[in-house]
Structure 1
């Protein structure tokens, strides 16, 4: 059986703010819709499911994020996920220039949790809180010269 990752879905409180953040980082908005009806109730497992959705894609075409802003049922606000919480907790992106990516993130009020680290002269990386408290990891591969 062949398998591939289709996308990562993230529920957000403000879909426009999330789209702006991720498109400024370099993802492309490839589609958006408002969905509801029996098929969404069945697929998602929520009665009366009604949501605004947006699909974003990385420039290489291999990674996709699907963002959801729930209209019904009402979205449930939980404490922000921490790096050591069990379950899905972050989305990671490779970037060409971590400093430039952090400048873009800062324009959206998003800053590293602690700072930028260097892992064995291979990567510079950091975690930051994106829109709706999403943990986002940014990593720049260091070139060996």
Structure 2
């Protein structure tokens, strides 16, 4: 059986603010829609499912995020995920310049959870708390091939 990762779906509080954050980091919006009806109720498992969605893609064309803002049922606010919680952990991106990426994130009020670390002189990396509490890992490869 062939399998490939299609996308990572993330429910967000504010679709436009989240799109702005990820597009400023370099992703591109490749589609938008408002979805509802029996097919979405069945696929998602929520009666009366109605959401605004956007599909974003990384510049290399391989990574995609599907962002969705629920109109119905009402979105449920929860405490932001901690790095050691079971379940969806984070979304990670390689960047050419971590300092530039952090400047972009800061313009959206998003900052590292603690700081920037260096892993074995191979990567500089950090976790940033993004829009809607999303943990976003940014990593810059130090030893380029």
TM-score of the superposed pair, with normalisation by structure 2:
0.98
| Matches of 1:41 and 1:104, distance apart in 2 | 37
Which secondary structure does the structure 2 equivalent of 1:18 belong to?
helix
* Superposed structure 1 runs of 4+ greater than 3 Å apart: none
Q: Which residue of 2 aligns with 1:120?
A: 120
Hey, what does 2:79 align to over in structure 1? 79
Residues 1:38 and 2:11 are matched in the alignment? no
- Matched position secondary structure for 1:124: strand
Task: Output one character per residue of 1:70-107: Cα deviation in whole Å (capped at 9) or x when no partner.
Answer: 00000001100000000112000000000000000000
Matched with 1:140 is 140
Q: TM-score, normalised by structure 1?
A: 0.98
**CA offset at residue 138 of structure 1?**
0.2
Q: Distance in 2 between matches of 1:23 and 1:135?
A: 16
Q: How many residues align?
A: 145
Task: Determine the structure 2 residue equivalent to 1:55.
Answer: 55
Gaps of 5+ in 2: none
**Per-residue deviation, residues 95-133 of structure 1 (Å, max 9, x unmatched):** 000000000000000000000000000000000100001
| Pairwise CA RMSD | 1.0
Q: Which stretches in structure 1 are left out of the alignment for 5+ residues?
A: none
* Counterparts of 2:27 and 2:137, CA distance in 1: 15
The 1:138/1:36 distance shift into structure 2, 3 A limit, reads same
Task: Tell me, in whole angstroms, the C-alpha distance in 2 between the residues paired with 1:113 and 1:137.
Answer: 10
Match of 1:91 in 2: 91
CA distance in 1, matches of 2:68, 2:77: 14
Distance between the aligned counterparts of 1:36 and 1:124, measured in 2? 42
